Amino acid sequence: MGHKASFINRIRQFWLASELGIMQRRRERRMLLLASFVMLLMGSGWGIFFGAKQQWSLVGLDLVLVVGALIVVFLTRRDQVRNASIALFGILFFVVSVIALVFDVPNAQVPRSTHFYLLPLAAAALLAFRADSFWLRHGVALLCLLAFGLLAGTQESPLPGYALSDTVRMGGVWVQIAAALLTLYALLHIMQNEVASRTELEDDLRLALKQKELQLHYQPQLNADGLVIGAEALLRWVHPRRGTVMPGQFIELAEQTGLILPIGLWVLQVACAQLSVWKDQSRMRHLRLAVNISPSQFKQIDFVPQVLTLIDRYKIDASRLELELTETMLVHDMADIIEKMSALRASGVSLSLDDFGTGYSSLNYIKRLPLNCLKIDQSFVRDVIGNPSDAAIVRMVLALGQSLNLEVVAEGVETEGQRQFLVDNGCAQFQGYLFSRALPINDFQDYARRHTAPA
């Protein structure tokens, strides 16, 4: 019975988790594949229908649909979700508008119906490009509505010779209108659900701090001898209904709503409190604790005083605290960033650059930043054995670390082969599932005691 309940619970958690975050991307891909499948079906079906009637210009348009569907599938499979969406909307807009304008020409007996598809297309554009630029989000939707309005209000065709006969059009009128409106209805329903689940998650996140649902887990960082030298603090949200929610599913929302500021401060405070506990334990006092800092957190005017106050309050050795910054935050206002980083370094705080290699920072920037440490992103470590360019990047980062006198931590080490490659190329610090996942505090302390040099 308990087994069954936990199985149902896991499905429920998966469903709730899929509402936002990483799963969102998978859902977008699935939607794109579904849309291209429908395009393929319609294109080939209508192509055969009009081929039998020897309407070659319409067969040509159906061919555009088929080829378009294949392009969308190709782009989606290569993870180019945005390009796939642009291609999908471009092709559908073109085909629907041309059919409505040239072939589905209205008269007193039979009205035009194809242009109704532009309504769900407008709604789908708002949904698909909701996280994109203003122009893409509103431009595509407004273009669809404008075309709908123009087609609803005109009867003239630029190419009168191509208009389909009333008998062919008559059969399709109600089917087309019903199909278009049902699609619109389904899209509105999806939109409404999305708004509701996002608002719910946001409301829950607001309460998470107050209700003590946030926790820090600690992922060990080891040296080449397999001894623990520190940990990275990683947030976990233990939600009463959703179960454990990973940061990938709520950090972005926290950023967008500004909730990351109180949450980030809480993380810093817990980390400093932990360091102050370890300070008095002989087998723990050497450990360094890394904390992830989000861009908006770092941008606060009083970020440096916040950190220094905590160090002071908990009376900890500042060099045991390491702040992990990301390349994305280095894009704006370098002067301010360097000033803050220098102030932190001057007080002894360690600074590392997380996910190194995935952003756009130039080597010139890296040289100017007062950093202690680079963290090689796990995406390079993953294929370091099989992929020569990843291997070259990893070697390059290790060499860069050496020549700039920076420590280098390899993230996401999962296999002994990866570890060996890294050791052979001079890497001295490691983090990854090969050693341990992020652990609750007590488990981490046990792990650290088991992996400490005997006194």
User: Which H helix or E strand runs over 410?
Assistant: strand 407-410
In angstroms, the CA 204 to CA 335 distance is 37
Q: How far is the CB of 250 from ligand C2E (least distance, A)?
A: 9
For ligand C2E, the binding residue among 58, 251, 289, 393 (CB under 6 A) is: 251
The residue (of 267 and 272) whose beta carbon lies closer to ligand C2E is 267
Map residue 155 onto helix, strand or coil.
Answer: coil
Map residue 239 onto helix, strand or coil.
Answer: strand
The residue (of 354 and 407) whose beta carbon lies closer to ligand C2E is 354
By CB under 5 A, tell whether 324 contacts Mg ion: yes
For residue 295, the partner it binds in Mg ion, ligand C2E, none, with Cβ less than 5 to 8 A by kind, is none
Nearest by Cα to 353 from 426, 264, 292: 292
User: Which H helix or E strand runs over 424?
Assistant: helix 416-424
For ligand C2E, the binding residue among 139, 247, 262, 359 (CB under 6 A) is: 247
8 Å CB contact between 21 and 249: yes
The residue (of 104 and 411) whose beta carbon lies closer to ligand C2E is 411
In angstroms, the CA 88 to CA 65 distance is 9
The residue (of 104 and 354) whose beta carbon lies closer to Mg ion is 354
User: Which H helix or E strand runs over 273?
Assistant: helix 260-279
Sign of CA dihedral 176, 177, 178, 183: positive
In angstroms, the CA 98 to CA 40 distance is 18
Q: How far is the CB of 242 from Mg ion (least distance, A)?
A: 23
By CB under 6 A, tell whether 267 contacts ligand C2E: yes
For ligand C2E, the binding residue among 423, 433, 446, 449 (CB under 6 A) is: 433
What dihedral angle (degrees, nearest 10) is formed by the CA atoms of 7, 202, 19, 380? -100
How distant, in Å, are the alpha carbons of 123, 184, 352, 450 from that of 413?
43, 47, 18, 20
By CB under 6 A, tell whether 219 contacts ligand C2E: yes
Which x/- pattern, by CB under 6 A, does the window 373-402 give for ligand C2E?
-----x------------------------
Which x/- pattern, by CB under 5 A, does the window 351-370 give for Mg ion?
---xx---------------
By CB under 6 A, tell whether 229 contacts ligand C2E: no
Residues engaged in binding Mg ion (CB under 5 A)? 292, 324, 354-355, 411
| Contact set with ligand C2E (CB under 6 A) | 219, 234-235, 246-248, 251, 264, 267, 292, 294, 324, 354-355, 378, 411-414, 431-433, 438
